[in-house]
Structure 1
Amino acid sequence: MPELPDVEGFRTVLQSCAKGRVIRRVDVRDAGVLHGVSARRLRDALEGRRVTGAERHGKWLLARTGGPTLLLHFGMTGRLLCAHPDDAPEPHDRVLFTLARDRQLRYRDQRKLQGLWLADDDSDVVRLLDRQGPDALTVDREEFESALASHRGRLKAVLIDQSVLAGLGNLLADEILWRARLRPGTPANALTRPEAHRLYTEMRRTLRPAVTAGCVPPRDSWLTGHRDAPDPHCPRCHTALRRSRVGGRTTVWCPACQAAPSHTGPD
């Protein structure tokens, strides 16, 4: 599932492939990925426009044109690719944006759980992103700790709630909590100041290399590198990893490294 590092990689694709280029043609091969806009209106709004900027907020990608803004969300299986217009489309290429100088952006998505939106102006962008919390890559420590302190839910569920903090998904949340030695079921507002400080620090330390990799890398020294093993063990203490459900998501954690603190109840 694309998370913040993946979408930051898609932002790089958008910038390198399209920024400064005019959109010559928009081909909607599957209107099922369009939200609040028809294929005809999307074409009329974007054809002839120049892509002026590529931005990301959480898991959302924004293609600026100096007029309308195209917003993309990748759901579970979405991707953004740069291709040559003569390359044959793949079956799951839903929308093609042919650009000047033989470039083509392709929104590819198998499951079509999210898709594309069109904002007419900046106020429309604000409206569409109104329920998004601060971006996990740029949020400062004070805002981060304040957001956690104001929520009574379980810590993992709060971290992946996009209205609290935008960008973290299942893999990142598990990795960050493992690094911070915090149990996923701990109430978010029960963290001590040192625990909240440690969580913020480990989030930053996890995001930097993940953004560089363009994904949550399955490194041997990371929890991510072991969670899908047939008999997964903690890469730090070698204890057998556990699985549970938190926030409706499969959650992997170490019962030794992430022992429940005395100020919380059972997981």
Structure 2
Amino acid sequence: MPELPDVEGFRKVLESCAKGRVIERVDVRDAGVLHGVSTRRLRDALEGRRFTEAERHGKWLLARTDGGPTLMLHFGMTGLLVCGHPDDAAEPHDRVLFTVGAGRQLRYRDQRKLQGLWLAADDSAVERLLDRQGPDAMAVGRAEFEAALSARHGRVKTVLTDQSVLAGLGNLLADEILWRAGLRPTCRANDLTEAERRRLYTHMRRTLRSAVTAGRVPPRDSWLTGHRDDPTPTCPRCHGPLRRSRMASRSTVWCPRCQPDES
């Protein structure tokens, strides 16, 4: 599932492939990924314009155009943004293709189609679409982060992955950050001490910086992520067995030795 580091990578793909280039053609191969906009309106709004700035907020990617609307993309569980050539054969899951000149084509590719593309006419429309999003996890300050956790009674992992609280963290990142901070996912957010909240914030920042550099949550041998899918997963820190459970319908992995019970 694309999380903040993946979407930051997609932002870089958009910039390198399409920034400053004229959108010559919009080819909608599957209108099922369009939300609140028809194929014809999407074409009429974008063809002939240029992509200018590419921004990210949490898991959302915003593709600005010159004096025109903003294309907003969300990648759900299986979405990708890739740069190809207009003559390359389309992949089965290429849903929308943007031919931008200089032999380049930006492709929104998504197998499961759980999210997709929106078109925001102006900044107020962008704000409405992002209205339920919390602060971006890469940009949030420590005081705001700590205040948000202190005000939530839910389990800390559920709070971290709630996009209305903090935008950008998903299942892998939340497990990784909590493991690094030595906090069990079932801890109540508002029960964390000030020292625990600060430790969590510090490890979130460090984990995000490394993951953004890698362009994803990297399955490194020294990371929890590198072992969670092993047949017999063990903790890369203490080498004890990892535990697995379900939390809010998501697979959750933690180390009972490195992340002791809050009691």
Q: TM-score range by the shorter chain?
A: over 0.9
User: Which one-letter code corresponds to 1:79 in the other structure?
Assistant: L
Tell me, yes or no, if structure 1 residue 63 matches structure 2 residue 43.
Answer: no
User: Which one-letter code corresponds to 2:101 in the other structure?
Assistant: A
Q: Offset of 1:122 from its aligned partner?
A: 0.2
Q: Give the aligned partner of residue 168 of structure 1.
A: 169
Partner secondary structure for residue 52 of structure 1? strand
Q: Offset of 1:247 from its aligned partner?
A: 2.2
User: Which one-letter code corresponds to 2:29 in the other structure?
Assistant: R
Cα distance in 2, alignment partners of residues 230 and 247 from structure 1: 23
Q: Give the aligned partner of residue 107 of structure 2.
A: 106
Per-residue CA deviations over 1:226-264 (Å, capped at 9, x if unaligned) read: 0000000111011110011122211000001000223xx
Q: Give the aligned partner of residue 3 of structure 2.
A: 3
Q: Give the aligned partner of residue 81 of structure 1.
A: 82
Q: Give the aligned partner of residue 239 of structure 1.
A: 240
Q: Give the aligned partner of residue 130 of structure 1.
A: 131
Per-residue CA deviations over 1:77-113 (Å, capped at 9, x if unaligned) read: 0000001111111010000000022210000000000
RMSD, aligned α-carbons? 0.6
Tell me, yes or no, if structure 1 residue 37 matches structure 2 residue 29.
Answer: no
Show the 5 A alignment for 1:75-224. Answer: 75-224=76-225
Cα distance in 1, alignment partners of residues 259 and 245 from structure 2: 13
Q: Give the aligned partner of residue 265 of structure 1.
A: none
Cα distance in 2, alignment partners of residues 261 and 242 from structure 1: 16
Tell me, yes or no, if structure 1 residue 48 matches structure 2 residue 81.
Answer: no
User: Which one-letter code corresponds to 2:80 in the other structure?
Assistant: R
Cα distance in 1, alignment partners of residues 109 and 6 from structure 2: 14
Cα distance in 2, alignment partners of residues 85 and 244 from structure 1: 45
Residue pair 1:156, 1:247 contacting (<8 A) in 2 also: no
Partner secondary structure for residue 117 of structure 2? strand
Q: Please, which runs of 5 or more residues in structure 2 have no aligned partner?
A: none
Q: Offset of 1:190 from its aligned partner?
A: 0.5
Partner secondary structure for residue 24 of structure 2? strand
Cα distance in 2, alignment partners of residues 247 and 133 from structure 1: 19
Q: Which consecutive segments of 4 or more residues in structure 1 shift more than 2 A?
A: none
% identical aligned pairs: 79
Q: Give the aligned partner of residue 27 of structure 2.
A: 27
Tell me, yes or no, if structure 1 residue 259 matches structure 2 residue 237.
Answer: no
Per-residue CA deviations over 1:201-228 (Å, capped at 9, x if unaligned) read: 0001100110011000000000000000
User: Which one-letter code corresponds to 2:248 in the other structure?
Assistant: G
Q: Offset of 1:188 from its aligned partner?
A: 0.5
Q: Please, which runs of 5 or more residues in structure 1 have no aligned partner?
A: 263-267
